[in-house]
Amino acid sequence: MSGIRLIVGLGNPGPEYDRTRHNAGFWLLDELCWRYKGSWRTDGKFHGDIARVDIEGQDVWLLKPMTYMNLSGQAVLALAHFYKILPDQILVVHDELDLPPGAARFKQGGGHGGHNGLKDIAARLGSPAFWRLRLGIGHPGDRNEVANFVLKKPRAEEQQGLDEAIEQALRQLPAAIGGKMAAAMKELHTAAK
């Protein structure tokens, strides 16, 4: 594996969405950018906010699409195409209904599980082979409640679990970025309960 050159955090733009479950990807990217002394700037060409950081000698682009979730692929494709970044060099950080709050998992490829952001990215890249970092938000129990659930703020104990999962994931990102994904996966999947 060649390593990660682009990390995309999924979410919706605007203050009304800031603290909602669907924006978990934005939360991790904001923390990552801050820790590695990056600074966000809005770039219309890439349909989002971008930053460039050095993570233990690796030059990495960070991207928060500002297109709304279901058009996330527009931003990902624009930046990946411009900088000649391949799907397997992209890590997409997103909220995951099928994992409880507090769980985080790396995964490469696969389906989109009804996640509109992942669906659009796979369609526009023409490949589902990008990496995912799935941040558990839990499931409301009724699939008819999903749309409402993801656009609400997590309860206090769920937020605590999410914060812990993000922290665990951030610890493993340098290894993942450096091409040691198997080791990063093993550590993260063991650490995150």
Residues at the binding site are 17, 68, 70, 116
CA dist., res. 65 & res. 94, Å (int): 12
CA dist., res. 152 & res. 171, Å (int): 27
Residue the block writes with tokens 């699939």: 143
Mode of pairing for the β-strands spanning 90-96 and 6-9: parallel
CA distances, 72 to each of 63, 145, 180 (Å): 10, 22, 27
| 142: Cβ contacts below 8 Å, ≥ 6 apart | none
The DSSP bridge partners found for residue 128 are none
Residues designated as active site: 22
Q: What are residue 30's phi and psi, to 5 degrees?
A: -60, -45
CA distances, 15 to each of 19, 20, 23, 94 (Å): 8, 10, 11, 18
Binding residues for tRNA: 17, 68, 70, 116
